Structure formats: C-alpha cells, structure tokens
A and B are shown apart, each in its own frame.
Chain A
Amino acid sequence: MLTRRIIPCLDVKDNRVVKGVNFLNLRDAGDPVELGARYSDEGADELVFLDITATIRSRKTIVDLVRKVAENVFIPFTVGGGIRTVEQIDELLRSGAEKVSVNTAAVDNPDLLAEAAQRFGNQCVVLAIDARKSKERKGHWQVCVKAGSEPTDIDVVEWAVQAEKLGAGEILLTSMDADGTKAGYDNELNKAVTEAVNIPVIASGGAGTLEHLYDAIIDGGADAVLMASITHFGNYGIRQIKEHLRDRGVPVNL
C-alpha cells in the first residue's frame, strides 16, 4: 500500500534555513545541506527546499545547494522559489532535484505547466499554491502570488483543477492563514482541493502537534504532510511522527 509521506520543508534564505510565522518574522534554523541530510537519516520521505528570496543572485546559490544536497541525500527532494522557465526547471533537475515547484510563474503563464510536463513528465511538476481565505466569498480561498504578497482573483480550487489538466503532477498547498501558527492545517481547504483533483496533494501550513498531521491526512485527505517549525526546532522527530501515525492506523514507511 502506498504510504502517506512526511515532508520537512526547508525555507532557504542566504544559504540558511529560516522559518517565519504567516510568511513573516524569520528565525534561523540551520544549514540546509546538514539539516536535509539529518532528516534523510531520520527517515523523512522527501524534502522540499524553497528559495524564499528568489533573486537572480540566489538562483545560482540554489543550484549549488541542489548539487550539494544531491550528493548527500538519497531521498527525493523538490526545489521551488522564483522558477519561471523550462530551462530553469531543466537546470535544477539536472543538478539533482527530483521535482520542481512553480507558483507565480504558472499563474502568469499556465502553459509553463504543460511545457514542463511534456518534457520532463508530470511527476516532476509541482504546482505550489499559496491560499488565503477569501473575505468576499465564504468557503472559498484565493490564490496569492509573489511569496504570498499579492492576492489574485483566482479561486484556489478552480486553479488546482485547471493545473491538473495542464500537467501539474502534484500540488503543494499552503494555507497562508495557518502557516507558522502551529494551530493545525486548514483542513477545509485541504479537503476542498483533494476532493477536486486526482493528483497528490501535500498539505502545508499550521502543523503544531502530531494530531494535526493525522487530521490533515484523515480530514483533509492529504497524500502528504509538510512541516517546518515542529521538526526544525526539535519538538518532534520524524520517527516519532511516523510511529504516531502508524499507531493511529495511517500507512507510513517506517
């Protein structure tokens, strides 16, 4: 049986892992290569590295980082942040990333998803969505771009469905409302998206306890759960997380 995945997320700025609350107030969490290797040793199923500065200068740094991680880590990892072209995706895959996530660029140019899928296969193409509860339409979420700083009129569920048709092979769904709060995932959001699409969805934003992870899988229907704060700062180990989920009847790779 396919297991549910536990995925630590490493937000990278100036070659350091950082973590904020609601996308703000960043705190240092260590060296990305070391932390990645540690998570791999502890039994993480996958890793996500997000370049949260995404400048021209940081792009070179992130390619170097991908190379170093790939030399030391033998589990799959996704890289995202500021990626705009098929050539950039190619460079990151060739440097050792298993998957690449796109966000703003796919909103600006949805064909990017189709182009990337036809060349690399859709299993490489992750659509990242930063979702915020809509104030105008209750029970809806709006897509935010540019690292969450710019809300759009695009409905999250509609965008997820469209992206699947275009060629996205996975959705990394971050609730901006929940991110960094440790108050639990937005499982209404997770459920709305997982019920609407047929590709895997990674729930992100809000993990604070082991039960939150269970809820995202069971209530939210998530295929994988992403976390940062609760594992970076030593509250929970990967093995502890997996044992908890296993004991609650969730299939995990232990």
Chain B
Amino acid sequence: MIAVIDYNIGNVKSVCNAFRHIGCKVVLSKDKQVIRSASGLILPGVAAFGYAVNALGSLADVIKEVALQGKPLLGICVGYQMLFETSSEYGLHKGLGLISGNVVAIPQGRVVPHMGWNLVKFPQGMDLFKGLGDEKHFYFAHSFHAEPKDDEAKIAYTEYGLDIVASVQKANIYGTQFHPEKSSRAGLQVLQNFYNICKRVS
C-alpha cells in the first residue's frame, strides 16, 4: 500500500485517483502509524513552498524517518522541492534536506510560471522512467526550480531556455518537478514504475 501524505494543501486527490486508476492500493493519510506502515510514500504538493512546509509540521520528521529506513519516497512538484534544503519562494524557508541543494526562482527572460507540457529527457533504464524510451512530454506548473548540488542525483532534464532538473533520485528517494498524475499516459507509467519499485523493496 502506498500512502499519500495528507497535509491540508491543494490538489492531493488527483495523485490518489491516478494510483487507483492503475490498480494500486493507496491511502491519503496524516496518521503517523499509517505512514510508517506503508510500502512507499508520496509527498504531493500544490502550494507555495512556505505554506506547504508549515502545513507539513511534525509529519516532516516521520517522512524523514521512513525515507532513511530505505522505503521509496516520491516527491511531486512542491513535494519534490521540499526534499531539498531551502527555498526562496516568498521568503527563505527550510525544506526536509533529504537531497542537498536549493530551490530558486526560474530566472527572468522567459514566461514564468513554466506552465504546460515540456519534453523531458532521461537516460534509458532509469527505474522511474521504465518503458518510456528516453524522452516524453510531461506537465509542468512551477515558478521555482531545484538546483541539486549532487550531479548524480539529477536523472532527468527539461529545456526552458536553461536546463531545468525535471527529476531526481538519491537511493530510495525520488522526485519529479512535473506532475505525473496530470501527465496522461506517460505520467501514469511513472506512477506505475514507482509502485513497482515499492513492491520490489517491500
């Protein structure tokens, strides 16, 4: 069973719907015991970073604890950004610090938010992108982006006048700047792949 972290923010229902659609058992929960007993965690996010971190509150420690035990964790959009150390969205905020790096504004000189379907490139054979070749379009909607310090953590890019890291992986910790739950078939495949990773680990 996959637990989607419920922390009273934006659109968390869509992630649950997408998992149900692919036949995966999923529960939306803020209960620490439920989160601890899940085979994998999703940290969703449709919110401003600071608001999201505050709303997460003490659940942050549970997520870190579970992730450090080796259970798969997937952060999506702001949930992905929260995996990093800090963000400068509406003031400086601390993230979970599971992946080293910071979240900064997309530089001026282009339309922001970076909104819509952009081509994501990834090396073949990555667990999260299995069955998708080496590039696919995914849906993005963000004004800030993460700059991971560890080059090895960067597993996918998209081009928007600069290279934006579209996905990261550090051992069992995964993140996507795009919304797999809103990226039609390719996105559902990413969620299916994450589900398969969870099954393999547990």
Residues of A within 8 A of B (CB): 1-5, 40, 43, 45-46, 67, 70-71, 74-76, 90, 93-99, 117-124, 169-170, 198-200, 223-224, 253
Once the chains bind, are B48 and A3 in contact (CB under 8 Å)?
Answer: no
Instruction: State the interface size on chain B (CB cutoff 8 A).
Output: 43
Once the chains bind, are A98 and B48 in contact (CB under 8 Å)?
Answer: no
Given contacts A2-B117, A76-B139, A121-B143, contact A223 B111 (CB under 8 A): yes
What 13 additional pairs, Cβ within 8 angstroms, besides A3-B119, A198-B112? Answer: A3-B118, A3-B137, A45-B116, A70-B14, A74-B181, A74-B184, A76-B141, A90-B10, A94-B11, A96-B17, A98-B46, A120-B9, A123-B115
Residues of B within 8 A of A5 (CB): 116-117
B64 interfacial contact with A, CB 8 Å: no
Q: How far is the CA of A76 from the CA of B181 in the complex (A)?
A: 9
Q: How far is the CA of A97 from the CA of B11 in the complex (A)?
A: 7
B95 interfacial contact with A, CB 8 Å: no
Residues of B within 8 A of A4 (CB): 116
Among A74, A119, A200, the residue within 8 A (CB) of B182 is A74
Q: How many A-B residue pairs have CB under 8 A?
A: 123
Residues of B within 8 A of A43 (CB): 184
Given contacts A199-B112, A200-B111, contact A96 B11 (CB under 8 A): yes
Q: How far is the CA of A90 from the CA of B51 in the complex (A)?
A: 13
- Shortest C-beta distance, B68 to chain A (Å), equals 28
Residues of A within 8 A of B141 (CB): 76, 98-99, 123-124, 169
- Shortest C-beta distance, A242 to chain B (Å), equals 11
Residues of B within 8 A of A119 (CB): 47-48, 51
Once the chains bind, are A200 and B21 in contact (CB under 8 Å)?
Answer: no
Among B9, B90, B111, B113, the residue within 8 A (CB) of A118 is B90
- Shortest C-beta distance, A120 to chain B (Å), equals 5
- Shortest C-beta distance, A107 to chain B (Å), equals 22
Residues of B within 8 A of A90 (CB): 10
Q: How far is the CA of A224 from the CA of B11 in the complex (A)?
A: 22
Q: List 15 interface pairs A-B (beta carbons < 8 Å), by A numbering.
A: A45-B116, A70-B14, A74-B14, A74-B183, A96-B14, A98-B141, A117-B48, A119-B47, A119-B48, A119-B51, A120-B48, A120-B51, A124-B141, A169-B113, A223-B116
